[in-house]
């Protein structure tokens, strides 16, 4: 039996609540289908269907190879994939702690490959998904209008999540944590 898993940096409650208030103040409403604040996180490596043996190998690899020390994570401004003039994803960028997040993501990638997953075919870009937009929209005005998000948080662990898809969207559950 497999589970749909991913490794991420979980947001602190202070940042989660602060970001929700910040977005209400500066946007009133996000375009597309906004991600619920309870689901906000920074994905380091999406795994998808994962068996118990693979899960255990990934956790063991992270325990053995993760050398990133606890760090402060700070945020940047809004951005969009694939580009702001034709956005399908609206996101919040990472500023402070960017190199530590990238290093943690590289170890997560190595852990996934060592457990038998195919290498990720896209370069890692640390971000927090705020909304999925279908059909694509031009969000340049929104991006220009919203200032940098000012809060920071301490990151001292990575979280392995289980994702269950349902009619009301995804629901995430913590499977395990790896301390930095």
Strand duo 169-179 + 157-166: pairing:
antiparallel
Confidence of residue 1 (pLDDT cuts 50, 70, 90): confident
Is the CB of residue 30 less than 8 Å from the CB of residue 129?
A: no
Q: How far apart are the first and last CA of the chain?
A: 29
What percent of the chain is predicted at pLDDT more than 70?
Answer: 100
Q: What gap in Å lies between CA 155 and CA 164, rounded to an integer?
A: 25
Tens-digit pLDDT profile for residues 67-84:
999 999 999 999 999 999
pTM beyond 0.85: the answer is: yes
Determine the Cα–Cα distance for residues 57 and 47; give it in Å rounded to an integer: 13
Q: What is the pLDDT of residue 165?
A: 87
- Beta-sheet strand order (sheet of 71-81): 33-34, 127-137, 87-94, 71-81, 152-155
Domains with residue ranges and CATH for the chain: 2-179 (3.90.1140.10)
Confidence of residue 167 (pLDDT cuts 50, 70, 90): confident
pLDDT band at 97 (very low <50, low <70, confident <90, very high): very high
What is the tens place of the pLDDT at every residue in 118-157?
999 999 999 999 999 999 999 999 999 999 999 999 999 9
> Which is nearest to 38 in space by CA: 13, 69, 18, 70?
13
pLDDT over 90 (residue 170): no
Give the integer Cα–Cα distance in Å for 93 and 42.
10
Cα separations in angstroms, 159 against 42, 77, 81, 124, 142: 10, 24, 24, 17, 31
Average pLDDT over residues 110-121: 97
For residue 17, what are its two tokens?
Answer: 């609540």
Rounded Cα distance, 150 and 156, in Å: 20
**What contacts 125, CB < 8 A, 6 or more positions away?**
none
């Amino acid at each position: 039996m497999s589970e749909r898993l991913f490794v991420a940096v979980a947001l602190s409650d202070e940042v989660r609540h602060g970001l929700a208030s910040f977005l209400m103040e500066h946007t009133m409403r996000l375009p597309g289908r906004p991600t619920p604040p309870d689901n906000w996180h920074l994905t380091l490596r999406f795994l998808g269907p994962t068996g118990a043996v693979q899960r255990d190998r990934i956790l063991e690899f992270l325990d053995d190879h993760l050398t990133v020390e606890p760090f402060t994570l700070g945020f940047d401004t809004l951005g969009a994939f694939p580009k702001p003039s034709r956005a399908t994803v609206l996101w919040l960028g990472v500023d402070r702690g960017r190199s530590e997040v990238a290093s943690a993501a590289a170890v997560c990638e190595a852990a996934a490959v060592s457990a038998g997953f195919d290498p990720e075919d896209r370069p890692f870009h640390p971000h927090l998904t705020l909304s999925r937009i279908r059909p694509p929209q031009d969000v340049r005005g929104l991006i220009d209008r919203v200032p940098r998000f000012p809060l920071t948080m301490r990151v001292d662990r990575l979280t392995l999540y289980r994702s269950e898809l349902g009619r009301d969207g995804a629901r995430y559950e913590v499977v395990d944590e790896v301390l930095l």
